[in-house]
Amino acid sequence: MKVPQLDLITQYHTIKEEIDSAIEAVLESGIVINGENVKKIENTLAKYSNTKYGIGVANGSDAIYIALEALGISTGDYVISPTFTFFATAGSIVRTNATPIFIDIDSQTYNLNPVKLQEFIDTKCKFNDKIGKLVNRQTGQPIKAIIPVHLYGQMCKMDEIMKISQKYNLKVVEDCAQSIGSEYKGKKAGSYGDLATFSFFPTKNLATYGDGGMIVTSSDEYAEYCKIFRSHGSKPKYYHRFVGINSRLDEIHAAILNIKIKYLDKWLEDRFQAADRYQKLFKKYNLQNKVRLPIKNIRTIINHKEHTFHQYVILVEDRDNLQKYLKENNIGTNIYYPLCLHLQECYKYLEYKKGDFPIAEEASKKVLALPIYPELTEEKQEYVVSKIVEFYFN
């Protein structure tokens, strides 16, 4: 049996006629940039996220970068990010010429830990009343924003993070690349921050067949800035207010997204049910001592949007050999992420060292993402778990 970590082909065939028709309609229209499909998905996703505006862009990385630019982040500023996340989170901070500050994660959710955030503020920062900003004690430079990343489909503790941000006048950009449709205490991903960003990369829960991204916000000012910035800073056309970039969500990708978003909530429920089956199988085979599950008791989750399982991530000993064994048995897995950002070579200049963020560093050595997608069958999941049993007990 073959079990890929992600199966895009099966999903495509379930909606093939609609997708093919939507793409053909774009090609027949001759309007491939800035057309009605883009406007439609912008409005639909803004409404879905309980925000006023959607601004389509070329990818999720640009979305974060443009959102930070809208906040005026620039040289000499600091922006807080978890160290355990995809590179684009901190990479976008550096693109603005600001400096990332890394924070450790919660051991169960893998998201930015508000307690560690407060500890950093208490020990490394002070509030400068003259400028109304939190500043680094050593440099005196302002800390202007936080990027909470909702990893694997589960949101950060946004009530605690927003309380901290409001107390210290910090802007918030939610990185929702892995959490579209997720909810925390009844509020959707993207609805807490000043701005929020989404990715439509093919692996995402709402994905196109290529790159794509979106910024959402309820601020008139930020929305206007983002729209201008994504088009070389021009408004009207050929008249440039500032130097922006070229970052557009094109019509074909938007047309695909307009089809797929109709199925999103069903697909999220299918993912939840697949995760539930994994939980039962791991308990059936008594693997709790070998495998730490993403949720201790999934049955306690009444609102299935509390975890949308963009990834089903287990934490295990001897991770690399387990991954090798599963590969030998035609089971696809992935490691999100094998090296924390503070230990990446490109961030040596920040002078972090091994051991600075022990929870994140341990996670990077032990996390393993198993196959999960809406079309995943119970038979395939049985096969995956049986091979994990073989690895540990044979």
CB neighbour list of residue 47: distance below 8 Å, 6 or more residues apart = none
CA–CA distance, 3 with 330 (Å, rounded to integer): 6
For residue range 251-277, what is the model confidence (pLDDT) as tens digits?
Answer: 999 999 999 999 999 999 999 999 999
For residue range 69-127, what is the model confidence (pLDDT) as tens digits?
Answer: 999 999 999 999 999 999 999 999 999 999 999 999 999 999 999 999 999 999 999 99
Task: List the structure tokens of 69.
Answer: 């630019």
Measured in whole angstroms, the distance separating CA 394 from the mean position of its chain's CA atoms is 37
Per-residue pLDDT of the chain (394 residues; tens, 9 = 90+): 999 999 999 999 999 999 999 999 999 999 999 999 999 999 999 999 999 999 999 999 999 999 999 999 999 999 999 999 999 999 999 999 999 999 999 999 999 999 999 999 999 999 999 999 999 999 999 999 999 999 999 999 999 999 999 999 999 999 999 999 999 999 999 999 999 999 999 999 999 999 999 999 999 999 999 999 999 999 999 999 999 999 999 999 999 999 999 999 999 999 999 999 999 999 999 887 899 999 988 888 989 999 999 999 999 999 999 999 999 999 999 999 999 999 999 999 999 999 999 999 999 999 999 999 999 999 999 999 999 999 999 8
pLDDT at residue 230, rounded to an integer: 98
Measured in whole angstroms, the distance separating CA 289 from the mean position of its chain's CA atoms is 29
On the 0-12 / 13-18 / 19+ scale of CB atoms within 10 A, 301 is middle
Three-class HEC string of 19-34: HHHHHHHHHHHCCCCC
* Number of other CB atoms surrounding residue 288 within 10 Å: 11
* CA separation, residue 384 to residues 278, 369, 387 (Å): 9, 12, 5
In angstroms, how far is the first alpha carbon of the chain from the final one?
20
CA–CA distance, 321 with 54 (Å, rounded to integer): 43
- 188 three-state secondary structure: strand
Angle of the 158-167 helix axis to the 114-124 helix axis, nearest 10? 20
The upper half-sphere exposure of residue 109, i.e. CA atoms within 13 Å in the direction of its Cβ, equals: 23
CA–CA distance, 70 with 229 (Å, rounded to integer): 8
Domains along the chain?
8-262 (3.40.640.10), 264-393 (3.90.1150.10)
Of 92, 39, 91, 83, residue with least CA distance to 63: 92
